[in-house]
Structure 1
Amino acid sequence: LIQRINHLLDNQKHEECALLVARSSSLSHCVRDLPMSRAYDAIPHSLVFLGAVYSKISLSGDSLITELCPESFLRHVVKWLSSEPRPAAHKDSSVTPYVASIRDILRIIVRASPDLPQKLNRRKQNLHRCILQLGHHGLVDSSDFKMMNLHEALKVELKKRLQQLKSALQKLEELSSCHRRGSQTPSDGSHQRMLQISLAELEERLIKNKSSLTTVEALVANSHVDYLVNILEERVDADKQMLFHLMELRR
């Protein structure tokens, strides 16, 4: 049976192939061997054959429908429909003769997978968001309130951050030098020694720690780099999602 189906598909005799399937009594036993990929690639001409296959297999139980890779069918139909030109209002579309076959197959698929419409709707919404994001790759605000390319803005902000880091390191190095001059032995930093600290030493330590905190806080408070990185992450994620959808349609 499979050899005869392959032979008919090779010769693009889809209607004869559909008749063969309709008359077969053993199709459900060889469902995994059916050349579904070839048939999907031949949409829309193979729709008559695909309709016969789905109809015949559904008689043996909805559980076998998944063996036909219905999502692949949907991808190929979407791909084909997207390549068809939109007809003028007063003309029939080239799609029209195939609508009934597609509708019948979809009914069988949905009956076998009731959650499929919701799943497809989520994909549609996700794709819609990705398409909207395609237009969100314009200029961004810098910390100087100038509009510029995202990568240029990141370069400017990172240079500022680098300069701040250098200044912070220099300040911390100065504080460390003062600390090294004030503490000569390891015992000076022991817990017991800390409990015996004098008021003057406490005030000095507070000043040093406050200076360190002020230096570090200035870096943490500069959130514009984080803002730009968040934008970059959103753009990367949106493009990854869009690429995923495009690859799905091309499969």
Structure 2
Amino acid sequence: MARRGSRTAGAAASKTPVSRLRRIALGVAGLAAFIALWKCAFVFAWAPPGTLPDPFSIPAALVAEYTSGHLLPALGSSLIHYVWGLAVGTVAGFTVGLLAATSPAFDDVHHVLARILRPIPPLAWVVFAIAWFQVSHAGAAFVISIGVFWVNYFATAAGVAGVDPRFYELARAFGHGGFVARVTTVTLPGAAPGILSGMRTGVGQAWMTLIAAELLGVPGMGQQMNSAAGVGAYDAVVVYMLAISLIYSLSDGAFALIQNRVLRWRP
């Protein structure tokens, strides 16, 4: 039985590279099918004239945006308020979510306010962002932080609430009954998977909110997309869309590495 089990495990392991190659091949095939469909839509004018670029014109548009000096400054400008908004929203959402899940008194005080504010989308705050910060990095970061806040707030609160109560009993038995000791030795390690998943979701949420905020005039890639669309340069719009996708993929991949390292204790 042991030999057969080892042979089965070895066979499964040997199939792993094949399954990975198959997954990559299917992914490439899916991308090719999407581009082919896009090309058909362009050739047969399925969209209003001039609003759908030729997919094969995108590389030339990328070179044009880069050589014109628009792409990199727009990227740098977007990253400024992206990083600030993501950082503020993550820290604030984590802190408030942790307090809401660990302090009944705090939860009683804030839960009505949270129910009132939660349904309000981040873009509804753009009016106040402009009034308080004008059209600036600070205003965009403010709007971004609101969207990121709620993602981390709920992820942290749910993760902490899901910690097994028996862990707290065990911690008290070993002399960790105080609030700080309980949070650092039981709550945060037990809720870490949910908390980190919320932070990772916030990385993507920040980009979605950022582009929408920039469409209203804040300097960055969203503003460049809006300007390009205004003159009918939809190939340039796609360039900035792909740039956003690339940056998100890199940031998400980097966070995934950090997440896996922090949670390496999991079985």
After TM superposition, the score normalised by the length of structure 1 is 0.22
Of the two structures, which has the highest relative contact order with CA contacts closer than 8 Å and spacing of 6 or more? 2
After TM superposition, the score normalised by the length of structure 2 is 0.21
Which structure's CA Rg is the greater one?
Answer: 1
